[in-house]
């Protein structure tokens, strides 16, 4: 059995995050000691490690919740799991595209603003007026 502190050290997940995952039902309610201290078993440690790795891969909480439900049915088709992973891959690719556009815009701003005074600073002009961006149609993250 693990206390919350030992579970935190074993998984690399901070104590407040473990409590949060319990509150939203991602982790089961823990057993309690006679002194009302949270006690966790190996299964919860494995689940929390799974959640942490999924979060490291960028999966949102709801997708992780779906994956955990699917993992409880080992003989079921992997199709639903693959669909969740495909959605995440599409989101990562979209994020990379947005970041690439952002990098290009910042490079353009810095290249054109590397001289003069603050009053003539291109970086400040573009930040102050979104229409000055080369990619002014991009959505804010």
Q: Which residues of 106-138 are buried (b: 16+ CB within 10 A; e: fewer)?
A: eebbeeeeeeeeeeebbeeebeeeeeebeeeee
pLDDT in tens, 91-127: 999 999 999 999 998 888 887 766 677 777 777 877 8
- Please report, for the chain, the start and end positions of each structural domain, with discontinuous segments joined by +: 1-76, 80-141
Q: Is the per-residue pLDDT at 136 higher than 60? A: no
Q: Is the per-residue pLDDT at 141 higher than 50? A: no
* Rounded Cα gap, residues 55 and 51, in angstroms: 6
- Which pLDDT score is estimated for 128? 82
- Which pLDDT score is estimated for 115? 67
Ranges 28-37, 49-58, 108-117, most confident: 49-58
Q: Residue 40 contacts by C-beta under 8 Å, 6 or more apart in sequence? A: 1, 2, 3, 4, 7, 30, 31
- Which pLDDT score is estimated for 133? 73
pTM (two decimals): 0.76
70 burial type by CB count under 10 A (0-12 exposed, 13-18 middle, 19+ buried):
middle
Q: Name which CATH class applies to 1-76.
A: mainly alpha
* Rounded Cα gap, residues 23 and 87, in angstroms: 26
Q: Is the per-residue pLDDT at 59 higher than 60? A: yes
CA 128 centroid distance within chain: 30
* Rounded Cα gap, residues 41 and 38, in angstroms: 10
- Which pLDDT score is estimated for 112? 74
């Amino acid at each position: 059995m693990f206390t919350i502190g030992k579970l935190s050290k074993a998984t690399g997940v901070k104590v407040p995050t473990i409590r949060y995952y319990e509150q939203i039902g991602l982790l089961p309610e823990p057993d309690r000691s006679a002194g009302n201290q949270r006690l966790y078993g190996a299964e919860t440690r494995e689940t929390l490690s799974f959640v942490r790795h999924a979060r490291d891969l960028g999966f949102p909480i709801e997708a992780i919740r779906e994956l955990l439900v699917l993992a409880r049915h080992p003989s079921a088709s992997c199709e639903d799991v693959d669909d969740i992973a495909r959605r995440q891959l599409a989101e990562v690719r979209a994020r990379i595209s947005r970041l690439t556009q952002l990098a290009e815009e910042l490079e353009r701003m810095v290249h054109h603003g590397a001289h003069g005074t603050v009053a003539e600073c291109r970086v400040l002009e573009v930040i102050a007026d979104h229409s000055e961006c080369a990619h002014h149609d991009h959505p804010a993250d």
